Amino acid sequence: MKNEELAKIFFAMSQYLQMQDIAFKPQAYEKAAFTIQTLPEDIEDIFQKGGEKALESLPGIGKSIAEKIKEYLTTGAIGEYEQLKKKFPVDIENLTAVEGIGPKTIKILYQKLKIKNLADLEKAAQEGKIRRLSGFGIKSEQNILQAIAFLKKSTGRFLLGEILPVVKNVWQKLNSLKEVQQVSPAGSVRRRKETIGDVDFLVVSDNPAKVMDYFCSLPGIIKILAKGETRSSVRMRQGFDMDIRVVPAQSYGAALQYFTGSKEHNIVLRKLAMDKGFKLNEYGLFRSGKMIVCAKEEDVYKNLGLCWMEPELRENQGEIEAALAQAKGKQSLPKLIGYNDILGDLHVHSNWDGGADSLQELALFAIEMGYQYLGIADHTKFLRIEKGLDEKKLAQRSGAIQALNRKLATQGYHFRILEGCEANIMPDGSLDIAQQALSKLDYVIAGIHSQMKMPALQMTERIIKAMQNPYVNIISHPTGRLLQKRDEYEIDFEKILQAAQKTNTILEINSFPARLDLKDVFIKKAKEAGVKMVINSDAHQKEQMHFVEYGIAQARRGWAEKKDIINTLPLNKLLACFGEKQKIK
């Protein structure tokens, strides 16, 4: 998959063009880069199937950029990019990663001090050479050193699962201030993106100065990056930044819309506003200089002729068109699955395999969460390291589960523990445990836990073969990615979807913060293909069952509705749904 490489090149070209003060082209390259980066398909496939014409049909890609993509795919390089690199032999990607350093600064630093990379930059700053340049001073030099130090220890982005608990805590604190009338997180946290760069809070207050003081003195702050009357910015110990903005009450709706983004969503929205004779910015919606009060976000959308939409949808992936259609009376926006719609978790590990908690502890925790059922999906024997169960142990566990079900029933709980397992899919697509043992379970999950670097064709066939097994109901973490660590397997997702549809196999949305697998664009594709999904926590200790919130968020980002997710079904219907699989045997 060359998507990421190409996106990187076009981002770099955008920077190079900015260095040369060229207008508008940089944005064009940036947009193309973004399109490629978020493309669900392999760009090489698109080119092979439809040639340059197919490339040009992608948003932000025209004749010139399509030609460059072709050049890269056929020759492995882009001539113009190579020329730019020769002209400015600088490490753009890493230098722009330094906060406060942009293309113009990079150009000056290269021309005056021959700075090409991070090491050069750090050295020059340490030697006090930067402060002597016109336009720079001691402060800018110090900021560069601090930013480099920050860069060195931070990965730049954080998992939603790491950030959201901190955000909820700060949110609660701000909410309890009497000077605060309204407060909400905005930005990618509000959209529940899988990784977060920094956090934005939006506040309405009758005493902004007090709020700023309070915010800048929160525990866990290691640096105040900016403190103004309406905006402040701080760096947290964990390594991420938090911003706060105070806005007037009559601007709150517009501001919340604006700062929630995404950037791409907003650009389209502002264009739409302009077309209709409005001007839209963070302060409100204006018509010939007059502000139309938008105290609520709904007001902004309504005035533009759109329905309000959930923040998780705002990625310019068709939601604006859908909201336009919906405002005209056509149900087009999805009715997203709610955060309380899940009735049970079907992927939890007990202490029968490597999990931390007993069946009873897990069951009681699930009951506390309001679940009606809980599926125990312990590993099977291939995963020795996780103490995977063999046929004999599975049979023993069955006795324990049935006994516990009886005990819970006598205690008056309307709750059922389901017997499942997470079998390992071997390289040839077979499972690591006897069919006979699987036939006795309520349901079976199968997943890949080894040999993840197979070529696309083989890997796809491997998963499809597992789906063809009449006992396999669910494929766990179908693409195998680990955020910030490991890419997804090489697979042909379209083929996987076709097979899932044909075999009545359910695809998992794994809620583990580093997995969130399926990813949003794949969820959307699965939904469109009519393939059912299940949102599971993959908990190895009971508290991790709360991870399901991240899985639901991911499902919502993929436009999933309640009807697309099988563990929103009551128990009898869920079991009937598993039964569908057996019919094809």
Residue from 87, 104, 335, 486 in contact with DNA (CB under 7 A): 104
Q: How many residues bind DNA (CB under 7 A)?
A: 63
What radius of gyration, in Å, describes the C-alpha atoms of the chain? Answer: 26
Report, in Å, the least distance between residue 549 CB and DNA.
24
Residue from 38, 39, 60, 88 in contact with DNA (CB under 7 A): 60
Beta bridge partners of 242: 199, 234
Let me know: does 32 contact 3? Beta carbons within 8 Å.
Answer: no
Report, in Å, the least distance between residue 327 CB and DNA.
17
226 touching DNA, by CB under 7 A: yes
Q: In sequence order, what are the residues at sequence separation of 6 or more whose Cβ sits closer than 8 angstroms to the Cβ of residue 289?
A: none
25 touching DNA, by CB under 7 A: yes
Report, in Å, the least distance between residue 303 CB and DNA.
16
Report, in Å, the least distance between residue 133 CB and DNA.
9
In terms of DSSP bridges, do strands 416-424 and 445-447 run parallel, antiparallel, or are they unpaired? parallel
| Nearer to DNA among residue 56 and residue 361 (C-beta) | 56
Task: Give the CA distances from residue 97 to residues 102, 149, 571, in Å, rounded to whole numbers and listed in that order.
Answer: 9, 12, 50
User: Interacting stretch for DNA, rule CB under 7 A, among 165-173, 278-286, 399-407, 472-480?
Assistant: 278-286
- Looking up tokens 């963070």, which residue turns up? 282
377 touching DNA, by CB under 7 A: no
On the 0-12 / 13-18 / 19+ scale of CB atoms within 10 A, 304 is buried
551 touching DNA, by CB under 7 A: no
| Token pair recorded at residue 258 | 């604006």
358 touching DNA, by CB under 7 A: no
Considering only residues 249-268, where is the footprint of DNA by CB under 7 A? 259, 263, 266-267
Residue from 102, 305, 370, 455 in contact with DNA (CB under 7 A): 102
62 touching DNA, by CB under 7 A: yes
112 touching DNA, by CB under 7 A: no
Report, in Å, the least distance between residue 281 CB and DNA.
5
577 vs 446: CA distance, rounded Å? 17
User: Interacting stretch for DNA, rule CB under 7 A, among 270-278, 394-402, 424-432, 536-544?
Assistant: 270-278
583 vs 470: CA distance, rounded Å? 8
DSSP structure string for 548-574: HHHHHHHHHHTT-BGGGBGGGS-HHHH
Let me know: does 369 contact 545? Beta carbons within 8 Å.
Answer: yes
| Token pair recorded at residue 539 | 């908990």
241 touching DNA, by CB under 7 A: yes
| Token pair recorded at residue 92 | 């753009």
Let me know: does 463 contact 428? Beta carbons within 8 Å.
Answer: no
| Token pair recorded at residue 7 | 């996106």
384 touching DNA, by CB under 7 A: no
134 touching DNA, by CB under 7 A: yes
Let me know: does 501 contact 471? Beta carbons within 8 Å.
Answer: no
Within 312-434, residue ranges assigned H as helices are 319-327, 359-368, 391-410
56 touching DNA, by CB under 7 A: yes
Question: Can you say how many angstroms the Cα of residue 485 is from the centroid of all Cα atoms in its chain?
Answer: 14
Report, in Å, the least distance between residue 354 CB and DNA.
39
| Nearer to DNA among residue 65 and residue 348 (C-beta) | 65
| Nearer to DNA among residue 286 and residue 413 (C-beta) | 286
216 vs 233: CA distance, rounded Å? 8
Report, in Å, the least distance between residue 541 CB and DNA.
34
77 touching DNA, by CB under 7 A: no
- Looking up tokens 């202490």, which residue turns up? 351
- Looking up tokens 């006979």, which residue turns up? 436
Considering only residues 180-219, where is the footprint of DNA by CB under 7 A? 187, 197-198, 200
23 touching DNA, by CB under 7 A: yes
380 touching DNA, by CB under 7 A: no
Residue from 76, 229, 328, 436 in contact with DNA (CB under 7 A): 229
66 touching DNA, by CB under 7 A: yes
As a three-state string, the secondary structure of 136-182 is: CCHHHHHHHHHHHHHHHHCCCCEEHHHHHHHHHHHHHHHHCCCCEEE
315 touching DNA, by CB under 7 A: no
Residue from 9, 106, 535, 548 in contact with DNA (CB under 7 A): 106
392 touching DNA, by CB under 7 A: no
Binding site for DNA (CB under 7 A): 18, 23-25, 27-29, 31-32, 56, 58-66, 96, 98-106, 131, 134-141, 143, 187, 197-198, 200, 226-231, 241, 243, 259, 263, 266-267, 270-271, 274-275, 279, 281-283
